[in-house]
Amino acid sequence: MENKKSNSTTTSQNGNQSKERSSNGSMQSSQLMKLFEDELKDIYWAEKALTKAIPKMIKNATSPELIDALTSHLEETKNQVTRLEEVFESIDKKASAKKCDAMEGLIKEAEDIMESCEEGAMCDAGIISAGQKVEHYEIASYGTLRQFAKTLNLAKAVKLLEATLNEEKAADEKLSKVATSAINVEAAELKA
């Protein structure tokens, strides 16, 4: 009798444990989904802000290579806004933006540089530096978002986020190339 009792207690304990485990699992996945949505709103705000900030950088740039790199990335950025709307749609959510303090700060930094720099190579070097900080923020954000989407089994979102991640990486590399090609050398000569 005593044995039976202790067996039944063990069974019921195990049952509770597995129930707890599965409810923990779904709780974790809904929390991750919430984090995924919050980060999407953050980068959606950031991309929209960049569609307004990049034209100012183009206006202040001098080197044709830099103007070209920024102009083509502006077009990509507009497309990335649309792509994020598709990500929202793929999870049945309405696209909405939440102010991204980090991107606001990076854009402000770019504006400060452009206000105080000497026109030409010095200003170009400053724009590249600010632009690369923006790209690195985006690379970090899209890398995280893609990983969240993978964990949440959101195949369509993974594909869309990966496409943008690759564009951000390419934009960063292009800016590095422009910097090493002529501008920084010229800026250093001006300074000397």
57-116 residues in contact with Fe ion (CB under 5 A) are 77, 80
Q: Which of residues 124-163 bind Fe ion (CB under 5 A)?
A: 138
The type of residue at 23 is S
Q: Give kind and range of the element (H or E) at residue 101.
A: helix 101-116
Other Cβ atoms within 10 Å of 177 Cβ, number: 11
Both structure tokens of 174: 């292009």
* CB of residue 103 to Fe ion, shortest distance in Å: 10
Task: Output the smallest distance, CB 57 to Fe ion, in A.
Answer: 11
Q: How many CA atoms lie within 13 A of 164 on its CB side?
A: 34
Nearest-CA neighbor of 137 among 102, 171, 167, 85? 102
The binder of Fe ion chosen from 157, 161, 168, 187 (CB under 5 A): 168
| CB 142, min distance to Fe ion, A | 8
The smaller minimum CB distance to Fe ion, of residues 36 and 137, is found at 137
Q: Which residues bind Fe ion (CB under 5 A)?
A: 47, 77, 80, 138, 168, 171
